Amino acid sequence: MTKFWLTFLVLLLVHTAVCFGADRIFATRYVAPPGVAPVETTTPEQAARGERVFTSVTGRTERPAALVFYAIGGYIGLLAAAAWGVFTLLRSHSA
C-alpha cells in the first residue's frame, strides 16, 4: 500500500506542475495601460439613490476552457484514486 501512496503523491505533484505550466503558457493576461479612464458601472437602482459607481480594470486573465476542464478532471481523478486507497486501507484493517 505504501507504493500506492507514493505513486499517488508523485502523480499529484506532476499533475499540479503540468497544470501550473500550462496555465503560464496558455493563459492570456491583459494589463491595462496606465492612464486608462475608469468606466461607469452604475445600475439604475444606484442612480435612483443618487449614487455613481466607477470601475477601473487593471488587468484580466483568460484561460481556455480545455485547460480548466483538464485541471478539474485530473483532480477529480486523483480524488477518486485517494478515496479508493482509503477504502482499500480501511477494508484491509477491518478484516
- The total domain count for the chain is 2
Largest CA distance in the chain: 71
Say whether both 37 and 82 belong to one domain.
no
Is the pLDDT at 23 greater than 90? The verdict is: yes
Is 82 in the same domain as 71?
yes
The whole-number average pLDDT for the span 28-35 is: 84
Mean pLDDT of 31-38: 83
Please report where in the chains the cell 480548466 appears, as a residue.
Answer: 68
pLDDT of the residue at 95:
60
| Beta carbons of 42 and 52 less than 8 angstroms apart | yes
Q: Write down the pLDDT at residue 78.
A: 97
Q: Is the pLDDT of residue 1 over 80?
A: no
Residue 35 domain boundaries: 29-62
Cβ–Cβ < 8 Å for 40, 53: yes
67 plus 53 within the same structural domain: no
pTM (whole model) above 0.75: no
The answer on 70 and 54 residing in a single domain is: no
Cα–Cα dist 14/48, whole Å: 54
Q: Rounded to 5 degrees, what are φ and ψ at 39?
A: -105, 135
Residue with cell 507514493: 6
What is the tens place of the pLDDT at every residue in 38-69?
Answer: 888 999 999 999 999 988 878 888 999 999 99
Q: Are residues 75 and 15 in contact, defined by beta-carbon separation less than 8 angstroms?
A: yes
Q: Both 67 and 90 in a single domain?
A: yes
